[in-house]
C-alpha cells in the first residue's frame, strides 16, 4: 500500500494512542509501517498484526495466535525461527494492543516519562528496551518519521487533545 494511503488509514488509531497514553503518533505509525511492510506482510494481512507482537507464555494475552517463520537477529546472526504471533479481528485491535503492550510491559516504563513529541528518544528507547533485534531499528524508525514528516501527527494529536 502506498505510504500516504497507509498513514491516512491508520493515523486516527495512532493519534488516539498518543492522546490516551502519550505514545507519539509518529512512533506508532513508523512502527506499524515498518513491522507490517506497509500493511502488506503476511502477518498483517492474515492476522491483522501490524507490530509483530508475539504471543508469549508469560503474557496476559488470551486471544488467538498464528505461527509464522520469521527472521531474527540472535547474537549478531540472522536466523529463521517459528514464532507464535498475536492474531486480531481487525487492524484497530492491533493498534490498541500495541499501546497496551507498551504500557503494561515494565521494560518500556521509562518511555512514558518522555515528551510525546520526542520521537528520537522514543525510537532509541524502544531499541534499547529490546523491542526489536535489528541493530538499526531506532535509526530506521527515525528515517521513516522524517522522510514522511510523521512528526506532524504528533503535533496534530496535541491540537486534538486541547
User: Could you state, in order of their start, the residue ranges of all structural domains in the chain?
Assistant: 3-46+90-161
Residue the block writes with cell 528507547? 125
Cross-strand pairs, 73: 78
User: Would you say residue 56 has pLDDT above 70?
Assistant: no
| Residue 64 pLDDT level (bands cut at 50, 70, 90) | low
Q: Class of 3-46+90-161 per CATH?
A: mainly alpha
φ, ψ of residue 61 to 5 degrees: the values are -90, 125
| Residue 67 pLDDT level (bands cut at 50, 70, 90) | low
Please name which of 63, 142, 75, 70 lies closest in space to residue 100, comparing C-alpha atoms. 63
Q: If you average pLDDT over residues 68-82, what whole number do you get?
A: 72
CB-based contact 25:154 (threshold 8 Å):
yes
Please name which of 67, 75, 21 lies closest in space to residue 46, comparing C-alpha atoms. 67
pLDDT digits (tens, 9 = 90+) for 101-111: 999 899 999 99
CB-based contact 23:17 (threshold 8 Å):
yes
User: Would you say residue 70 has pLDDT above 70?
Assistant: no
Q: Is the pTM of this model over 0.75?
A: yes
Residue 33 has which C-alpha cell? Answer: 509501517
Amino acid at each position: 500500500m502506498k505510504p500516504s494511503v497507509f498513514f491516512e488509514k491508520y493515523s486516527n488509531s495512532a493519534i488516539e494512542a498518543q492522546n490516551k497514553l502519550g505514545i507519539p503518533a509518529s512512533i506508532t505509525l513508523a512502527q506499524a509501517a515498518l513491522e507490517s511492510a506497509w500493511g502488506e506482510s503476511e502477518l498483517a494481512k492474515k492476522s491483522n498484526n501490524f507490530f509483530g507482537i508475539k504471543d508469549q507464555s508469560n503474557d496476559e494475552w488470551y486471544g488467538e495466535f498464528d505461527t509464522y517463520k520469521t527472521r531474527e537477529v540472535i547474537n549478531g546472526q540472522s536466523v529463521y525461527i517459528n514464532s507464535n504471533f498475536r492474531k486480531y479481528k481487525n487492524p484497530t485491535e492491533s493498534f490498541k494492543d500495541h499501546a497496551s503492550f507498551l504500557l503494561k510491559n515494565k521494560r518500556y516504563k521509562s518511555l512514558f516519562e518522555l515528551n510525546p513529541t520526542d520521537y528520537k528518544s522514543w525510537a532509541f528507547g524502544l531499541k534499547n528496551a529490546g523491542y526489536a533485534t535489528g541493530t538499526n531499528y531506532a535509526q530506521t524508525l527515525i528515517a521513516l518519521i522524517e522522510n514522511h514528516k510523521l512528526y506532524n501527527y504528533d503535533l496534530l494529536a496535541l491540537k486534538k487533545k486541547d
